[in-house]
Amino acid sequence: MKIVELKHVNVKNLAGEIKKGKIIVSLTDTVYGLICDAGNKRAVGRIFKIKKRSLQKPLSVFVKDFKTARKIAVINNEQEKILKAMWPGKLIAVFKARKKFPQGIVCESGKIGLRIPDYKLLQGILSEFKKPLAQTSANISGEPAPSRIKGIIKQFTLRRGSGQEKNQPDLIIDAGNLKKSKPSKVVDLTGDTPKILRRR
């Protein structure tokens, strides 16, 4: 597990690591998050192992823009009009998926959660990588959403020789401690009326 300070981060190199199937802990516009190639079955599976998360709780997906979102999910004109006032931003919108992804991205009912992040680093990675990123908060399932970098490193640091080193992120971007924040709001837009699944 490598730790790199934010000031030394190169977006092109990060995108290259993600293309290789690496798992990265990155600052987002909410909390620190785990990100990887949403289309890489092995990488997505590793995130579930790192977090000790049930496959019944799908990861959401970062997309660069509405054009990408429409390729992945069924989004009507009225939904897009509403979301343009909220994206980029701290909202995960749930739609019917139109594209196949590895297990753990699309739930059994065929729904997928998408978000356009409002953060320069992530937008840079998405532009360079040119594909969606699977994402979730950088913590062990059941633990609080992370804001302090030392706490994140401690959670994911395992004793050498434990045989579990592979269940660690490959790279942590150290942007210091964040102001306390909550994960994104989640709204299901697949029904006749929007349904709030998680408030901020």
* pTM as predicted: 0.93
Q: Is the dihedral of CA 63, 65, 68, 71 positive or negative?
A: positive
Q: What six digits make up the tokens of 83? A: 């979301």
The DSSP bridge partners found for residue 91 are 185
Query: Is 199 exposed, middle or buried (CB count within 10 Å of its CB: 0-12, 13-18, 19+)?
Result: exposed
CATH architecture for segment(s) 2-198? Alpha-Beta Complex (3.90)
pLDDT means per 10 residues in the chain (200 residues)?
93 97 94 96 96 94 97 94 92 95 95 96 97 95 82 74 68 89 89 87
DSSP secondary-structure letter at 183? Answer: P
| Cα 88 to Cα 86: distance, rounded to the nearest angstrom | 6
* pLDDT (0 to 100) of residue 119: 94
* pLDDT (0 to 100) of residue 156: 83
| Cα 114 to Cα 108: distance, rounded to the nearest angstrom | 16
- Give the contacts of 73 (CB within 8 A, at least 6 positions apart): 95, 96, 97, 98, 99, 112, 114
* pLDDT (0 to 100) of residue 166: 64
